[in-house]
Amino acid sequence: VPSKFDRCLCDIKTKKIIFPFRLNEFSIQMIGHALHRQIFKYSPYRASSDKIEKSVKELMINGLLKSNMVSMENYNFPLPRLHGSTLEEHYNSLGYEFVYPYLQLAFKLAKAEINFRPTKFNIQIGWTKYYSDGVMCSVPYPDCEAMIFDVETSVRTRGLPVMAIALSENHWYSWMSHHLF
């Protein structure tokens, strides 16, 4: 825990505020106290001296404990409020927030009951949309929010797609490349 005297220093030449370095038991620089308090609400975990001693020996045996480590400048700035009480909760919350719309689309697509399959495919360049009554029409692209699709490639086209089939919540689609004609 920093004392009232080591909260910050000021470099006389550059007039730059310098925050003290926080080192762990292995002399590895950690984030500064102010940032640590913002990110981790709880006191830092303190390992037992036996565990530290054992770890130091292992690091030295494997040449991983360096005495000439370069310290980087410490920064102190306010962070946005965490979504949750831990970093894990924060990232889970943000991840869920960003993926939620796509999860909804995937669930909707998974629950869809398509009771038809095209019996005849339109053999022409581009996309074709298939309706349940057997009608098909050319479209510039699938006009759906989500779809399941499969793409076929060809060695002759150096692995480029030549054909695709797609299934949306309500329709089937096919696509043919100009390389097939």
Q: Per residue in 129-163, pLDDT tens? A: 999 999 999 999 999 999 999 999 999 889 899 99
For residues 152 and 163, give the distance between their C-alpha atoms in angstroms, rounded to a whole number: 5
The tokens describing 125, both together, are 């360049």
Percent of the chain with pLDDT over 70: 85
Domain positions in the chain: 15-79, 126-176
Beta-carbon contacts of residue 172 (< 8 Å; ≥ 6 apart): 114, 116, 117, 118, 129, 130, 165, 166
Cα 167 to its chain centre, rounded Å, is: 27
Q: Give the pLDDT band (50/70/90) at residue 12.
A: low
pTM: 0.57
The tokens describing 38, both together, are 């913002």
Instruction: Judge contact between 122 and 138, C-beta under 8 A.
Output: yes
Q: Which residue has the higher pLDDT, 174 or 48?
A: 174
